Amino acid sequence: MISRLKRPFFRLLHFRQNSKKPRLPSTTLSVTKELHAADERANRALADAARAVEQLHEEQEHSMKIDALRRSLEEQAIQIQEAEAAALLGGKRVIAKLETRIRDLETALDEETRRHKETQNALRKKDRRIKEIQQLVDEEHKNFVMAQDTADRLQEKLNIQKRQLAEAESVTMANLQRVRRYQHELEDAEGRADQAESSLHLIRAKHRGSVVTGKPGASKVG
């Protein structure tokens, strides 16, 4: 029973010691605290189970004492039979001593029987407690598995968000580079437009000058 109680938590402890602790978001901190609390409750439950096993050992020792007393009674009964045969020959004193010894053994047997019953009652209570502890351990293990699953999902979600952020940053950098290129092209186009406008002004000025110069000659011809 105790080994079944310890087995899932030894696996849990091995998993915690050998697994890398991921950096989880703040929403998983409460889950981690609940896991530590569950671990402490399980340790207390295992301590109760260990005490129950110790009482079971005491009960076994009581049973061994009772068996020893019974064997002693059987031996005394044999001695009584032999003493009765000796009493027929005048050994009544030996029989009286043996009867006193038997009464003492019966008293001791009654006392050990009473203690045995008390221990049996306590053992039944501890057995119920062990079953409750087993249920608690199973429930805590189930909660741990659920919490671990939640933490894994949160970590996966965090990784997805990191990838999306990296992709968004990459797209932003690409867009920024295009904007800068467009800005350079626009500045070049504006420069060329300014040059073209300056050239147009010069051409218009020359054209107006040539027109003004040619007007008197035209009137004479008329």
pLDDT at 98: 82
Tokens of 154: 């949160």
201 has pLDDT over 70: yes
pLDDT tens profile 31-61: 777 778 877 887 887 887 788 878 888 888 8
pLDDT tens profile 94-118: 777 888 888 999 999 999 899 989 9
Q: What are phi and psi of 88, to 5 degrees?
A: -60, -20
Binned at pLDDT 50, 70 and 90, residue 146 comes out as very high
Tokens of 1: 């029973």
What percentage of the chain has pLDDT greater than the value 90? 16
Mean of the pLDDT values across residues 157-186? 89
Binned at pLDDT 50, 70 and 90, residue 211 comes out as low
pLDDT at 6: 44
Instruction: Give dist(CA 136, CA 119) in Å, integer.
Output: 25
3 has pLDDT over 50: no
More confident residue, 10 or 192: 192
Binned at pLDDT 50, 70 and 90, residue 213 comes out as low
10 has pLDDT over 70: no
In one-letter notation, the amino acid at residue 166 is: A
pLDDT tens profile 52-92: 878 888 888 888 888 888 888 888 888 888 777 766 766 56
Tokens of 25: 């978001």
More confident residue, 142 or 47: 142
Mean of the pLDDT values across residues 5-15? 47
Mean pLDDT over the full length of the chain: 78
Instruction: Give dist(CA 222, CA 175) in Å, integer.
Output: 67
Instruction: Give dist(CA 53, CA 217) in Å, integer.
Output: 134
Contact of 112 with 69, CB cutoff 8 Å:
yes
pLDDT at 63: 82
Domains of the chain with CATH codes: 2-7+28-157 (1.10.287)
